[in-house]
Amino acid sequence: MPKAILKIALDVPLDRLFDYLSGGHAVQVGQRVLVPFGRRSQIGIVIALADTSEFAIEKLKPVSRVFADERPLDHEIISLLQFSADYYQYPFGQALLSALPARLRQIAPAVSRKQYAYQLTTLGKNVDIAQIPKRQSLLRRVLEALKTSAQLTEIELDAISSGARKVAKQLVDLSWASSHQVQAAMRTPELQVTPVPNLNVEQALAVDRIVQAPQGFGAWLLHGITGSGKTEVYIRLMQHALQQPDAQVLVLVPEINLTPQLEARFRSRLANYSLVSLHSNLSEGERLHHWQLAQSGAAKIIIGTRLSIFTPLPNLKLIIVDEEHDSSYKQQDSMRYHARDVALVRAKRLNIPVVLGSATPALESWHNATVSTSLPNKYNLLSLNQRAVTAAQLPEITCIDTTKVHLQQGLTPQLIQALRLRLERKEQSLLFINRRGYSPVLLCSACHWIAPCMRCSSKLVVHLGQKKLRCHHCGHEQRIPNQCPSCGNADLHPTGQGTQRLEQTLTQLFPNARIARVDRDSTSRKNALVEILERVHAQEIDILVGTQMLAKGHDFPNLTLVGVIDTDSALHSPDFRASERLFAQLMQVAGRAGRADKAGQVIIQTQFPEHVLFNALRSQDYVAYANAMLQEREQVQFPPYVFTALLRAEANDYALANQFLQHAFSLARNLSQDVLVYDPVRPQMERLKGMERGHMLIQASHRPALQKLLRNLVMQLRGTSIATKVRWSMDVNPLEF
C-alpha cells in the first residue's frame, strides 16, 4: 500500500517541510505537485513519503494535482540544494523552487515547446503500400518510414519532406496513425568543423595530468595567462570525459556575454555531442526546454551561468568553472551561494573531477592550491605560462602619470597618438572604462551642488543622449535640470568620464573611425552584443569602447591596443577585496591585446603609476602579487585565513534595522566564545532603493565554529517579532562589504 503522507517543500520563508495527503495519487519523491496553502494554491516538490505525521491526519489536506507526466527531480540535486540551503542559512523550500526554471514554478504543466510524435495504429500497420497510387508518393514515403520506425517526431518528418507533417495529420484523420506530445528534440545548428590545433608542451602536460589522474574527485586549478589556450585544454578534457557512456559535462561561465562564443567554439570542435546553454537571456520556454534536455540526459554539454550548477544532470562526469575568480559566481540576493564553491561540493559528492580556470585566480583558490595544508580542500595546480599562438607575445604595459600631462577630454597625448597609429595600420583598439553613461556626476560650478539620488546614498549619472539623470543602483530617472536646484545657477557641468562621453570624444578626435560602444545600455536588446562582436571579427569596427563586459574571454586577433581610463578609485576603496578585483580586471583587459601574431600594447592612465599594483601589472607577475596579498591577508586576519558571515538588515527607518542588529549582536555574543562578533555598523551605501541599511560582521578561525553559531543564530532570529519588521539576510562568505 503506497505511503499516504507527503513531505513537501514550498516556496515560503519557513525552513520546514509541509505534510499533505497523497489523495490516492501515485507520487514519487522529486515530483512537482499543486497544493492548497492558506487561501491560495502553490507549487511544491515532494521530498519524502511517510506513514505518519506530527499533525492529526484529519487536519491534513490532500494535494490538488500531481504533474505525473514530468520527470521528477533526482535525489542528487535535492540533496545538493539541501546542503546549500543549510550552509548558506536559507529556507530549503525557497532554495529548491528558485533553482527551477520559471515555467516549473507556475501552476501549469511544464510544456517548453509543443512537438508531436506519430506512430501507426493496428489499422495503419495492415495497409498495403503497394495499393496506394504512385502519384501519392509522399504518402507512400511517410507510411514506409512509419512502418520501419516505432515513431517519427515532427523534426524527423521534416527531414523526409516539408509536407510530411501534413501527411501525418491526414493519417491520423484516417485512423491509420496516432499522435502524442513529446519533449521537443534539439535542433543543432550547422557549423563548419574547425581544424584541431596542436597543443604546446604546457597544455599537453595539463591535459595528461588530469586525464591520467586516478578516477574520482580531484580539484584542479588551471592558472593560465591570458591567451594561453585554457579553452583548448577544456575541449580536450571534455572529449575525454564524453567518451564514457551517456556522459555529460557542465561548463560554468560567469557572464551571459561569454556564452555565445564558447557555444560556437564547442559546437565546432565537439559536433557529435548535443549542447545546450542556460542563462537569463533565454526566453522562459527556451530555458525550460534546455533544462529538460539536460535533465533527461539528451544534452551532453551544458554551458551556463551560476544557477546552472543546480541543473539535474543524471550522468555528470566533469565540471569546468571558467574565470573561476569572477564575482558574478556569487549570488547577491535570495540564497547567497557561490557557484564555484557549490561546484566543488557537487564534484566531491559525485566523485568526479572539477577544473577551475583563470588567469588571475581568486586568492582563496590560490591559497588552496599553494598554501593550504588541509588535504581535503587542497587543489592541484597546473600552470600555462606561454601564449598558445607561438607568435603571440604578452603585451607591453605602460602606465601614464596623468598628473604630469595635459589631458584632452580625459585622454593623454600618448594614448591619442597610439590610437592614431592603430588607425593608420588598420588595426583595432579597445578603450576600457568601467563606468557607463555620459559622466558620473552633474556639478554646479557656483555652489558645487551634485545631483543626488533621493532613494540611495549615491549620485545620479548623466545620460546626455536621453537628457536624463539616472541612478545605476535603483533605476530612478529624472530630466536634467535647466538650473541648479540649490542656488539657481544655470551653469551645470557633466563631470568625469563615462562610456558615452568617451565615445563622443573619440568621434570628435577621429571622425572617420568606426567606433562601437559596449555596455549594459548599448547591449540591452537581445543579440545586440553578438552582432557587435561579429562586426569586430569582420574588421568593421576600428575602436571599441567598453566596460567589464569586454574584459575577459574575447579573442580579437587584430586588436593590438588597449587603453585603460580612470581606475584609481578602486585603489582607495574601504573594501579589502577591491585591489584584488582591480588587478584581475586589468590583467584580463590587458590580455585582449596582441593575441595573434601582432604585438600588443596596453596604456593605463593613472595618478599613481608607482603603486605596487601597477608594478605587478607591468611585470605581469600574478604569482608574486598573489603571494604578497596573501601575506597581507594573513597579517591582518582577512579571508582566506578566517571565515566570515555578514548579517544585513534594512528598513524604512534605520532605528528598526539597528534594533534588529543589536538584538542579533546580543544573541550571537551569548551563543559562542570562539567566534568574533563585531558591533553593527552602517555600510558605505547607507541607503539603497529607499531602504536604510546596516550590517554586522561575524568572523571565526574555523568554519565549523562559524556554521554552528550561524545555525543557532538564524533559527533564533526567525522566531523573533522584530525580524518581521525588517528585511534581513545572512551572507556566508560575503564578497562585498
Enclosing H/E stretch for 422 = helix 413-425
Tell me if 201-384 shares its fold with 396-439+496-633: yes
Better-scored residue on pLDDT, 152 or 233: 233
Whether the pLDDT of residue 375 is over 60: the answer is: no
Each residue's pLDDT tens digit, 175-193: 888 887 665 555 555 555 6
pLDDT of 710 reads 97
Each residue's pLDDT tens digit, 482-498: 899 989 888 888 888 88
Enclosing H/E stretch for 424 = helix 413-425
Whether the pLDDT of residue 559 is over 60: the answer is: yes
pLDDT of 185 reads 55
Residue 303's nearest CA partner among 325, 277, 323, 329 is 277
Contact (CB, 8 A) for 337 and 88? yes
Mean pLDDT of 334-358: 97
Largest CA distance in the chain: 96
Give the pLDDT band (50/70/90) at residue 349: very high
pLDDT of 336 reads 97
pLDDT of 533 reads 80
Q: Which three cell numbers stand for residue 508?
A: 570628435
Whether the pLDDT of residue 417 is over 60: the answer is: yes
Name which of 42-51, 455-464, 553-562 the model is least confident about: 553-562
Which of 465-469, 471-475, 712-716 reaches the highest mean pLDDT? 712-716
- The residue whose grid cell reads 588551471 is 222
Whether the pLDDT of residue 558 is over 90: the answer is: no
Better-scored residue on pLDDT, 651 or 529: 651
pLDDT of 23 reads 83
pLDDT of 192 reads 57
How far, in Å, CA of 83 to CA of 426, rounded? 54
Q: What is the CATH number of domain 201-384?
A: 3.40.50.300
Mean pLDDT of 409-417: 91
pLDDT of 233 reads 96
pLDDT of 1 reads 45
Output DSSP code: residue 538.
T
pLDDT of 191 reads 52
Contact (CB, 8 A) for 556 and 591? no
List the domain boundaries for the chain: 5-105, 115-182, 201-384, 396-439+496-633, 643-732
What percentage of the chain carries pLDDT values higher than 90? 52
Better-scored residue on pLDDT, 456 or 372: 456
Each residue's pLDDT tens digit, 134-189: 778 888 888 888 888 878 887 778 778 777 888 888 888 888 888 876 655 555 55
Better-scored residue on pLDDT, 119 or 203: 203
pLDDT of 161 reads 78
What percentage of the chain carries pLDDT values higher than 70? 94
Write the class of the CATH domain 396-439+496-633. alpha beta
Which residue type sits at 285? Answer: G
Buried b (16+ CB within 10 A) or exposed e, 89-101: bbbbbbbbbbbbb
Whether the pLDDT of residue 393 is over 80: the answer is: no
- The residue whose grid cell reads 580556470 is 357
Name which of 210-219, 307-316, 394-403 the model is least confident about: 394-403
pLDDT of 188 reads 53
Strands in 468-470's sheet, in edge-to-edge order, are 461-463, 468-470, 477-479
Polymer length of the chain: 737
What is the CATH topology of the domain spanning 643-732?
Alpha-Beta Plaits (3.30.70)
Whether the pLDDT of residue 2 is over 70: the answer is: no
Whether the pLDDT of residue 361 is over 90: the answer is: yes
Q: H helices of 675-724, where?
A: 703-718
Mean pLDDT of 611-626: 88
Give the pLDDT band (50/70/90) at residue 390: low
Better-scored residue on pLDDT, 553 or 210: 210
Give 5-105's CATH code, choosing from 3.40.1440.60, 3.40.50.2300, 3.40.50.970, 3.30.2350.10: 3.40.1440.60
Better-scored residue on pLDDT, 324 or 388: 324
Give the number of other CB atoms < 10 A from CB of residue 224: 23
Output DSSP code: residue 679.
P
Name which of 47-61, 529-543, 630-644, 676-690 the model is least confident about: 529-543
DSSP string for residues in 109-131: ---SS-EEEEEE-HHHHT--GGG
Q: Which three cell numbers stand for residue 422?
A: 592603430
pLDDT of 729 reads 96
Contact (CB, 8 A) for 202 and 383? yes
Enclosing H/E stretch for 169 = helix 164-173
Q: What is the mean pLDDT of the chain?
A: 88
How far, in Å, CA of 737 to CA of 696, rounded? 10
How far, in Å, CA of 695 to CA of 727, rounded? 12
